[in-house]
Structures are given as C-alpha cells and as structure tokens.
Amino acid sequence: MSGRRVAVTGLGVASPIGTSVPTFWASVTAGHSGIGPIVGMSADGFMTTVGAQVQEVGTPPGRGRAAALASIAGAEALGQAGIDAAGRGRVGLVLGTTMGEASWIESWPDADGVLPEVPASRQAELARSGPAAITADVAATLGLGGRTLTLGAACAGGNYAIGRAADWIRAGRAEVVLACGADAFSRTALAGFGRLGALASKSCRPFSADRDGLVLGEGAGVLVLEAEEHAVARGAAVLGFVAGFGLACDAHHIVSPHPDGAGMARAIAAALREAAISTEEVGWFCAHGTATPANDPAEIAAVRAVFGSAPRQVPVSSVKALTGHGLGAASAIEAVCCLLALRDGLVPPTWGLQAGDPACAWDLVTDEPRAGRVEVVLNNSAAFGGNNAAVVFSSVARGAA
C-alpha cells in the first residue's frame, strides 16, 4: 500500500443485536439473533413476515431513520476514538447506502398505488429522501466539518466507504474520516427483494443446504479511520489497520453474482495484493454470506480460486445469520466484527449451520466461536450490478509509512 498507513481508532454500531459495540459483540459471540416478526408495519401481502430490525431505536420526528442509526454509531465511534466536539471540525465522512431515506417517500399518502401531487409543505422531503441526505444529516448531527461523500454502492456500500476513506488518508487529503454504511428497514426494500424471490421464510441460514434466502435487516456501522502518525501524535489507541482494499465488477447480471465468483475473486486478490499479505496469513474470511441460493456457492468458489493453493484453508463464516442483511450497512457492521476478531483472537461462527450445502464445502466455522491466532482478517462484500469490494484489516501496521 502506498502513502500513509491508515489506522482504525474508533468503532460504532447500531444493529438488530445491539446498539453499542460491547452489546453487539456479546450477541455475536453468544449467538443471540436479532431476527423476528416484522414490527412497525404490516407484513400483509409481502413474501415473508420476518425481518431484523433495531428495536431499541425509534425514528426521531423530522429525521430519517437511516441517519438516526448512523448518528448513533458515529457518536459511539468518535467517543471511543477520543474525538470531542472541538476536534471534529476537520473530520470527514464517507457513507455508503442502498436505499437512501426511503421512509420519507413511504410516508406520503398513496391513492391506488399512484403518488399524488406533493403539497408545498412536504416538498422539502423530496431532498431528504436521497442518499446524500443521510450524509448531510449525520455530518450536521455529529458536527463534522471535513469533506463528505455519499456512495450508492448498494450492499457493498460499507466496504466502499472504508476503501474511499482510506484513500483520502493515504493521499493526505484528510487526517481523520468516518467510514460508514447505513440503511433502514423499508417497505420498498422488502417488496423489491420479495419480487426477486430472495427472502427467507423464517430464518437466515448461510451456506446451509436448506437455506431459502436472506432476511432483510437494517442498521449502521462506523469506523474512525486516521493517519497513523496523527493517531500517535494525539495519543489515540490504535485498534487495527486498513491494510488493503480491492474492487472488481462481475459484468455479468444486474442482481446475480457470476456463478464462478470471478468478480469476487478479483476483488479479494486485489485487496490482498495491495496489503502485500499472503493467503496463509489470513485468520478469518468474513463472508458476505447472504444465504441466497446464488450468492453462497459463488462466494465459496471465489474463496477456492484465491485460497485453494494455500497450505491451509482459511476459516469462513457469516454473521448475517444473526443480523440479517443490513444492505449498505452490512459490510460496515461486519467490519466492526473484523476489528473485534483481531482484538480478541476469536472467529465468530455461522450460527445455526447444521447440514452444509456440498457446493459450499469449506472450513466453515460452526456451533461456537473459534479461538486462535487472528492477525489478519478479510471482509468480503458483493452488491447488485456485480460490484464487489473486499477490505483487509491487520492487527499491526504493514509496509513503510
């Protein structure tokens, strides 16, 4: 990796299994699921009645839900990093999302499926429904005065945000940047994934032979990324490093991954190459693991393509069995898991995995967390349009500063 080394100095999360990092990690390691009956809206007419929602957080009047979730996670991350209000004037923000603030549009009156003319009193909500509105809201709420960027990178949005924020720091364009992924549960997403036949009936079972789809979730994950020398100068505790980042497109199908995982494999290999890290050093592959029939075997095919010649197989698992699929938030929440796995030397399992799909045969972590040496982790993500993003985290700095 060229340029300055990128340290992680703060973590924050708002998820269906915890709205603080300690609570979230306790749930991940104990197998506490956030999947249950959909609340806050009628599930009549939808393809499923289950979801993974953040029960502890309401939607404040006059704000979008995705921004509220991201602000909670961002405040926690800034607090852990020791960046108070006075120090936020030059802190940047990169936010990845899938749906934007769909709740604003969904709150408009509907007549026989046709949106009526929007009254002047509500026209400002049009601007609030776009993805950039989340970033603007979070920056204002947290008092961030640095550069901002919104990435509509769908289900890989969190990893995209981490990679772009790291680029800014390496290039000297920023000293501290919040990398965030955020999305809120919505009727729009539920209907869309239902029409695709992608929703599970009761539970999320990544890599299982009997899996039947994803469970729609919501939430936000935030990492405080900081130039290593800046963190050291202010005495901040370093939780790990962004060692490498890789992108690739399947150029195959608008919603399905390439069956042989070619795009994912290229992104994974690019991230490892940028990090100058060998496959043998990776202690955990944090899988996208959506539990859809198409994604899981394609992802394992990508793992085989990259790690197949390694002396040992890298352990693989997916936390979506507990959190559901948080769309743009997913890989950011999973990135928080990656840093905690480095901290504790602990690989979370795919909870509930019993009879594995033979097409997904690999070293799949099941039943309980696996303790051991974890100094490098790889966070994988995939999105509509065949857009793949992988991030490598390490416990120690790699390469020249």
Q: Which two tokens stand for residue 75?
A: 């405040």
Q: Under DSSP, is residue 71 helix (H, G, I), strand (E, B) or coil?
A: helix
Q: E-strand spans in 250-321?
A: 284-286, 316-317
Q: Under DSSP, is residue 259 helix (H, G, I), strand (E, B) or coil?
A: coil
Q: Which positions are annotated as active-site residues? A: 155, 288, 325
CA pair distance 37, 50, nearest whole angstrom:
4
Contact in structure between 213 and 349 (CB atoms under 8 Å): no
**Which DSSP string do the residues of 75-113 spell out, in sequence order?**
HHHHHHHT--GGG-TT-EEEEE-SS-SHHHHHTS--BTT
- Type of residue at 252: H
Other C-beta atoms lying within 10 Å of the C-beta of residue 262: 21
Q: Which of 363, 362, 265 is nearest to 305 (CA)?
A: 265
Contact in structure between 182 and 67 (CB atoms under 8 Å): yes
**If you ran DSSP here, which 8-state letter would residue 172 be given?**
T
Q: Which two tokens stand for residue 227?
A: 């130039």
CA pair distance 90, 101, nearest whole angstrom:
26
Q: Which of 127, 170, 168, 163 is nearest to 147 (CA)?
A: 168
Q: Supply φ then ψ for residue 362, to 5 degrees.
A: -170, -175
